[in-house]
Structure 1
Amino acid sequence: MHWRKSSYSGGGEGNTCVEIAALPTHIAIRDSKAPARGLLAFPAASFAAFVEAVKRHPRPAG
């Protein structure tokens, strides 16, 4: 499984965010600070809809 970190992971080791991995039918997500603790997996279409919703309604700064 190939894990990718968010481009917003911060400096240094970049371990202050989440990582994702594409599986054949799902997207896996894990905490980059504790990768051995497990992962969550969501159907790829559901994850794509979530990402699009976040892009349309970003969290306000501050």
Structure 2
Amino acid sequence: MLEKYLKSFSNLRTDKNRKRYPALTDHRAPHKPFLLLSVMDLMAQGQITVKGSPLDSTKKQL
């Protein structure tokens, strides 16, 4: 299961901009992986127990 997450995290689409992000972050936005790790940690602690998200209700039905 860890390999699945490792592969998924390594393939995340992130904003790439040499002017905006330093070489330390490989000129990419680092916030998406941190957000996902934070949410996973809160779920493991039981602080997030709802399946889905409040944004799910705003999605348009096709």
Structure having the larger proportion of residues in helix? 2
TM-score using structure 2 length: 0.31
TM-score using structure 1 length: 0.31
Structure having the larger proportion of residues in strand? 1
